[in-house]
Structure 1
Amino acid sequence: MNLGVIGQAVGLFAVTNIDDILILALLFARGAGHRGSTRGIVLGQYLGFTAILAVAVAAAFGSSFLPESAVPYLGLLPLTLGLKTAWQEWKARDAGEDGEAEAEEGGLGPLTVAAVTFANGGDNIGVYVPVFATAGVGGTSVYAVVFLVLVAVWCFAGKFFATRPVIAKALARWGHILLPVVLIALGLLILAEGGAFGL
């Protein structure tokens, strides 16, 4: 394996996914104490990122499953999930502890995490396509392997930050507010930056 390509892959992944660590930390904090939540978050992260890779590779080699004009509308996914999470938190506030437990468990399924990951990484597709197209099949394979290894590193980092005492305390206190706010802001940002709905 070419060490130069590996280094470029590491750099490209880090630059295009730095915001993912915050989202992962919020998800891990929200799932803390719930059996199977870590597995669900990691699985969802892999599903979402594999979908991003698949679309980018397909587009780089001549087939596009996702028209470029559709990418900005991926912002509707985190926006909808953020609004749903905010609504669940609002209902839980009125319902007391039982509702709170229900709200905390909601929204951590692998498919939900995958949807957030895919929407958040939708703009990465535009960066990956030209890189993969010029790297060829061999180079793209190296990028894909490195990216998939780094997804695990990112999950570990998100879990690490979510379990540091100071950060965990802050996330336990504010995470139920931060997660919907971050998801809604992310959705609006993706929509606005992509010019969706004429924004």
Structure 2
Amino acid sequence: MGIIGQAAGLFAVTNIDDILVLALFFAQGAGHKGAARRIATGQYLGFAAVLAVAVAAAFGATFLPEDAIPYLGLLPLALGVKAAVQAWRHRSDPEEEDGSSNGGPKILEVAAVTFANGGDNIGVYVPVFATAGLGGMSVYVSVFLILPAVWIAAGRYFATRPVIAKAISRWGHVLLPLVLIGIGLLILIEGGAFGL
């Protein structure tokens, strides 16, 4: 149980911010057929890409140069700016405020945010995977492929709590762009992109 607990702890610590992002995505997709499936698929695609890069890097076949990882912050930053522009354009249309006219988040948008937000996790996962050996890495990857389901359920749970849902419904069109832009800037700044 030791390595499973370590894997679960590492996942939780490195992905805690994903719960807020998922809650915002679920709020944006509320009432749209297939939105939950698209969000879950996007979350898994993005996180699987993070794992693939980390596993490959642990084996020595680095797909992304370490210097490129901070620039992943451009993905959520661009999506946040796009969401902010859409919110601004439709600020007087109450149906548009919560994203209800666009069917909610798209799979690739969720995947891009998840991957970019997990880009800094790659730097944490690689040494852990490399030192865990093949058997240990298999346990970590298995746990890491199960736990996004827990995160998805938690994000959906928070998005459907009456108090939280009301706040997100009222402010989600503002919060989502702010959170995405904040994540993007944080990744860029912490990684030293553009000499920041």
TM-score, structure 2 as length reference = 0.96
| Counterpart position of 1:157 | 154
Per mean C-alpha deviation after superposition, the further-off stretch among 135-144 and 124-133 is 135-144
Q: 1:107 to 1:194 in 2, by over 3 A?
A: farther
Identical amino acids, percent of aligned pairs:
71
Distance 2:73 2:112 in 1: 10
How far is 1:186 from its partner?
Answer: 0.7
Q: 1:102 to 1:154 in 2, by over 3 A?
A: closer
Deviations 1:13-36 (A, max 9, x none): 000000110000011011101111
1:141 to 138, 142, 146: 138
Q: 1:102 to 1:177 in 2, by over 3 A?
A: closer
How far is 1:98 from its partner?
Answer: 6.1
The count of corresponding residues between Structure 1 and Structure 2 is 196
Distance 1:156 1:170 in 2: 19
Distance 1:122 1:54 in 2: 11
Unaligned runs of 5+ in 1: none
| Counterpart position of 2:194 | 197
Distance 2:39 2:118 in 1: 16
Unaligned runs of 5+ in 2: none
Deviations 1:49-96 (A, max 9, x none): 0000000000001100000000000000000000000111111125x3
Q: 1:104 to 1:71 in 2, by over 3 A?
A: farther
Deviations 1:136-170 (A, max 9, x none): 11111111111111000000000000000111011
The one-letter code of the counterpart of 2:191 is G
Within a 5 Å distance, the mapping from 1:83-162 to structure 2 comes to: 83-94=81-92, 96-97=93-94, 99-100=96-97, 105=102, 108-162=105-159
How far is 1:106 from its partner?
Answer: 6.2
Distance 1:67 1:120 in 2: 17
* Cα-Cα RMSD: 1.4
| Counterpart position of 1:40 | 38
| Counterpart position of 2:72 | 74
Residue 179 of structure 1 pairs with residue 176 of structure 2: yes
Q: 1:32 to 1:4 in 2, by over 3 A?
A: same
Q: Which runs of 4+ in 1 moved over 2 A?
A: 96-107
Give secondary structure in 1 for the equivalent of 2:60: coil
Give secondary structure in 2 for the equivalent of 1:105: coil
Residue 52 of structure 1 pairs with residue 25 of structure 2: no
TM-score, structure 1 as length reference = 0.94
